[in-house]
Chain A
């Protein structure tokens, strides 16, 4: 019983982190139907950014948020203008190859710049734990989960309550009509990329205290992020939240209770089952 409780709480916390990683992927998919295979590489770069701020400037990870997140917003905006804009109307295969190429470019740039060494955050004292439903959880993990929830709430508010947010939704729904209404669609798309990359950078900063930094670390999250997006519902921001949490729970509860070696198998069995029964995802609507 305690084991089940531990697994559930841990699954929930991790699920929120997965959801935050998946958020940007889902958002870009929803707004402009582009699959960004290089998504997790931005997470990796944000981990490096946070690491260097800490290693060189002794800037605590929490304080890195106002530096790293805007920086990556800019990186997303630039990515849109330098690469994505050119492939927006291209066939799906071209888009896939382009973002796949971007993945390699970012990863091997990191190899060239930082080398293959694994780095991490060193704290003199153990991070304090607080009990969540009686289960001790390290504070940085809890902060990450809280940050994920805040990011989702902020994005939802922005999309619903602001004029820009509504314009962005309009651009996502119908490019041509939005253009006819005088909405600067190009600018909306660039904004979407900025938001998407900023959100994955936020995930990077938040997981840094309990994670490791290396050029290939994106691999650990990419598959989970994709599964979260599809599981929750294509291109829906709240879908990423539901999908991420579902995966965190499945992985941890079934993994812990049955066999950790098969935890990814459980995730993908559930994933395939959902696709069979509800091809549009858990909360998505049929197209």
Chain B
């Protein structure tokens, strides 16, 4: 058959028409579907794909617990199958791949809202991607739940559709000071604080926040040193710090810097009472690989640790489920994503409708008690900015080569070692 221009146009026209009708038909059928579509935007490919895969597992486990009956778990919606107030309808996840890129994340959020007709979104791990993806949701009036981004600015934008279950960097810094207050109650004399941070967004912001808290809690900031990472040497910084003689050093440092920090402290044969770090380095396994026993006794903030299972059996049971399914233990990002998805499902159920405004109203009235969470929090309740008022972290300390939860004391799995032992007594 000869292809004439007319015939070409006719066939392509018919083809396109069929596609359009098919697409409409599919979405009409989808609307009839008994499931409730929820969109999830995460880095499923690219440099962060491994983290994205863990998050995906955590969210899928949460949806599995909602959609099927787990009568022996005390999690929200676990005993029943589906959402009881929506006639037992089940949640269907639709994934969008941000590839770790803010523009792609936003485009994926738009696609999920406009083409897939999701009723709510969850995402997106990196603060920068969460910022753009949630913008798409905000302008279209779709609830956006963020479990794991830590930039304080996200909940300060005055968004009406944005909710965050996890803690942010300000909450994390407060941990250090709350811990110091508790240590003072145990008879330690702590009044002088030094700050050592790298000088980009992460470190400089953390240093500023720590400075602010020191003022509120009435501690003396005796030194505040910013350096460019990676440093060729930190000798000048530490000579100065030792001269200022702080009781505690608060650090916001990258892993490459951290090794030098440990080496320099050791060379000087000097230890403050404690070195408390933003998760930047100490929670990365490389740290112990590179420093060995020298890296012990450093304290780090963390949003979650499997170690809290020792005091909270629910954590162990959820982790068992996770382990059976994915052959790995949950980590802190997975735990936060899991909790975020359950919170969103809980709000969907209470809304009793798939109308975005109803879900938004239900999210605002969220009240999940701490006992129903695998997080070390008193519960989930959002403030007027959409931030969970009870979001908090924990402090871990490296003891015997392992990261142990040492604070809050109620959920600690090991007693805190304070002050750090001197170098010649290790």
Contacts and interface: CB of A to CB of B under 8 A. Distances in A.
Contact of A7 (B230, B236, B259, B423): B236
A118 B259 contact: yes
B259 A260 contact: no
A182 to B, nearest CB: 43
Given A212-B260, A216-B256, A260-B225, A122 B232 contact: no
Main SS class of interface, B: helix
Given A261-B199, A261-B227, A117 B289 contact: yes
B72 interface: no
A216 B230 CA distance: 8
A85 interface: no
B218 interface: no
B321 to A, nearest CB: 31
A119 B230 contact: no
B44 to A, nearest CB: 20
B255 A118 contact: yes
B233 interface: yes
B256 to A, nearest CB: 5
B140 to A, nearest CB: 37
Contact of A3 (B225, B243, B292): B243
Interface string B216-259: 00000000011110111101110110010000000000011001
Given A3-B243, A120-B259, A217-B256, A136 B269 contact: yes
A224 B232 contact: yes
Nearest to A212: B259
B240 A117 contact: no
Interface of B: 199, 225-228, 230-233, 235-237, 239-240, 243, 255-256, 259-260, 263, 266-269, 286-287, 289-294, 423-424
Contacts, number: 99
A124 B293 CA distance: 8
Contacts of A261: 199, 225-227
Interface in A96-142: 117-120, 122-124, 126-127, 129, 136-138, 141
B396 to A, nearest CB: 19
B236 A255 contact: yes
Contact of B260 (A117, A211, A251, A260): A211
B232 A129 contact: no
Contacts of B225: 259-261
Contacts of B267: 127, 129, 136-138, 141, 210
B236 A263 contact: yes
B290 A120 contact: yes
A219 B226 contact: no
A118 B239 contact: no
A137 B235 CA distance: 11
A259 to B, nearest CB: 8
Instruction: Identify which of B236, B255, B267, B294 gathers the most chain A CB atoms within 10 Å of its CB.
Output: B236
Contacts of B231: 220
Contacts of B230: 214, 216-217, 219-220
A221 interface: yes
A39 interface: no
A256 interface: yes
Contacts of A263: 227, 236
Interface string A251-265: 110011001110110
Contacts of A152: none
Contacts of A213: 290
Contacts of A251: 233, 236
Contacts of A259: 225, 240
Given A211-B260, A219-B230, A120 B291 contact: yes
A14 interface: yes
A14 to B, nearest CB: 5
B256 A7 contact: no
Contact of B286 (A3, A117, A122, A129): A117
Contacts of B227: 260-261, 263
